[in-house]
Amino acid sequence: MTSDRSTPDRTTPNRPAQSHPRSHTGADLPGPRGPATPYRMTVTTALPHADAVALADEHLASWLKREGYEEPTPAARSRAGSPAAPDPAERLRLGERVLLDRDHGPLRGGPDTGRYDRRRLRTPAPHGTQQLTLTVATAADGRTWVRLEAETHSTGSGVRTPCRVPVPELTRSLLPLLDAGDGPAAVHPVPRVITADEVDGLIDELCDPERRMPTVVASVPVNLPLEGWVEDVVGPLCHQLPGLATAYVLDPGARTAFNVALEYHTVYGGAVRTYLPEVDPASRTDGARHPVLARSRIEQDLRRAAALLAREPRRLAADQPLPPPLAAVPVLRVPPAQLRRAAGHPVVRAEPAARAARSDHAERVELAELALEEQQDRAEQQARADELERVRRTLRLERHDRRERSQNREGHDPREVREGRLRSGARALTGRHCTTSGVGPAFGQHAAAPAADRCGKPESFTELMARLGEFPLLTFTGDQKTALALDELRRTGAGWARLAWDGLTALQEYAEAAVRGTAGGDFKQWCEHTPEGCHRFPPRKAVRGESRTVFSHTKWKRERMLPVPECVDASRRAFMGAHLRIGGGRTAPRLHYLDDCSGSGRIYVGYIGLHLTNTRTN
């Protein structure tokens, strides 16, 4: 069930003319050379579970009808929206060698963990079988995941097959209707043009820790029109990316703003860059992770360039561990009665006389078909087990590499010296602390040194608020409820909490230097030129102040008039326009603060929560 066929590309391309450390080069994806590389899409959907399943069934039936196969009978549904069929799995025979398996039920761990619906379609292909599996899994917290896999099972190891399974038609038809997402990003089937006003949102997406898919950003040559380049080049170039990556095109204004903001991750001159998850805009070294496809390679052979561009997203889709709800989906098992029914034989037990009358030839055909189905099921389960083990090995190697890098950094960053300096600085500043009664809890006024390295990052805002005492020079003056409410957004809350912790850690280290007069500027400049041995926070996520529109709008300005001690302002309120971007997307959490290191010797955090009102949220 596919819509395009890719030409194998085994040529190692030359390094692109644009001077970036890494390009789209290298060998084919890991694994045996015989089987085609499978297609795997994993997204979230804003639709309810039952609506997502019904939509998938509708499009699957429509495709089967267009291909000339029988349409499957509708799955019976209870009032709650889950199938009411007595069998845990059913098999429908829709044509010669065309089988549709449907099952549903609770996730492993019991009904309280969530539920799933699955469709597995097998259709004939030259020298083998094409298999498409669609799974919809909803966790107990209500978040729904959609997984679509397409693969080819060859009948023999010596058969020559395409090097990759094409993007299924079902992907292109479902994506616009699912309201699909990947962390903060909406997943579209075609590239979307970005204007200068949308650059900040794009950068937030690139840096968001919850993003799983690569993000492909295309530039337009300065001497060519945007519309023509998008239609003639970028569209065909991204034809193999639906469901594997999100794609954007920078218009001229956005290109300038984007490259100014990301000096180590630029893209220009008609080149296309693939941004892998966890972008660090302030790191020159990180820029080497994100491959570039130069304009010269694109124009030399557009079809081969499209295959090169899809290589990294396919690799990442294959290597990414499954989200917990999808990992908890049990293995599909079709009962023997269903296997016999699909083979065209009655399920009831035959009488001895009738059984004796059956021909030996029909009996052999039945046994052969059942044996073939059982063999395919065993092969699929073994492939899943092999894939899981490969992912585990990859993750172990990555963890080992991270530990080595961390140990190397610690060799240049004596922790004991830094913590000892912090403790002495905190004792020297204790006499300068002003009372914070009446403006909220003053966490950490006489606390010990930060323990971020010792205790690790918090996994929730509840834990973060409880550990604010680890930052002696930071005082939280706001309402804890707005921060704790972020934990209710479980799908991204942990990533936001860790990013907020990174920001607070960087603010603490900046405050230590600022009270000594060695910071060299404000917090924004500190992030842009972080001293060796200090925690780095992305400069693009550190904002000096709000726009003139927000400052001049009475209601919006009042929202940012946040509590401070009387020694800072007699009204016990101060405008906190400086803030940290804690996430991207519509909710876009923010941390607002006031830098008073030159006065009281402290930084006051007045708000942690969802984005306050502005021109975009209003």
pLDDT (0 to 100) of residue 301: 92
pLDDT (0 to 100) of residue 121: 92
pLDDT tens profile 137-148: 999 888 899 999
Which has the minimum average pLDDT: 57-71, 81-95, 285-299?
81-95
Any alpha helices (H) in 92-180, and if so which ranges? 169-178
The kind and range of the H/E element at 506 are helix 490-516
- For residue 344, count other CB atoms closer than 10 A to its CB: 11
Which tokens is 493 given? 């809350």
pLDDT (0 to 100) of residue 354: 47
Banded model confidence at residue 422, pLDDT cuts 50, 70, 90: very low
pLDDT tens profile 240-259: 999 999 999 999 999 989 99
Which has the minimum average pLDDT: 83-97, 213-227, 282-296?
83-97
Q: 3-class DSSP state for residue 426?
A: helix
Q: What does the alpha-carbon distance between residue 391 and residue 382 come to, in Å, rounded to a whole number? A: 14
199-207 vs 252-261: helix crossing angle, rounded to 10:
40
Which has the minimum average pLDDT: 335-349, 525-539, 574-588?
335-349
DSSP state letter for 183:
T
Q: Concatenated DSSP letters for 130-152? A: EEEEEEEEEETTS-EEEEEEEEE
Q: What does the alpha-carbon distance between residue 88 and residue 78 come to, in Å, rounded to a whole number? A: 14
How would you write 161-225 as a 3-class SS string?
A: CCCECCCEHHHHHHHHHHCEEECCEECCCCCEEECHHHHHHHHHHHHCCCCCCCEEEECCCCCCC
Which tokens is 463 given? 């834990």
pLDDT value at 17 more than 50: no
Share of the chain above pLDDT 90, in %: 29
Burial class (CB in 10 A: 0-12, 13-18, 19+), 438: exposed
Which tokens is 570 given? 């007699």
CA 330-334-338 angle, to 5 degrees, is 155
Residue environment code for 550-572, b if the CB has 16+ CB neighbours within 10 A, otherwise e:
beebeebeeebebbbbebbeeeb
The order of strands in the sheet holding 590-596 is 474-476, 602-609, 590-596, 579-581, 542-543
Which tokens is 309 given? 């561009």
- For residue 412, count other CB atoms closer than 10 A to its CB: 8
Banded model confidence at residue 222, pLDDT cuts 50, 70, 90: confident
CB 310 within 8 A of CB 37: no
pLDDT tens profile 400-414: 565 455 445 444 343
Q: 3-class DSSP state for residue 145?
A: strand
Q: Pick the closest to residue 41 from 133, 118, 157 (CA basis).
A: 133
pLDDT tens profile 370-404: 666 666 665 666 566 556 656 655 665 665 565 45
Calculate mean pLDDT across residues 110-132: 85
Residue environment code for 47-61, b if the CB has 16+ CB neighbours within 10 A, otherwise e:
bebbbbbbbbbebbb
pLDDT (0 to 100) of residue 555: 79
pLDDT (0 to 100) of residue 385: 54
Strands 192-194 and 246-250: parallel
pLDDT value at 305 more than 60: yes
Q: What does the alpha-carbon distance between residue 124 and residue 39 come to, in Å, rounded to a whole number? A: 18
pLDDT (0 to 100) of residue 614: 65
Q: What is the mean pLDDT of the chain?
A: 76
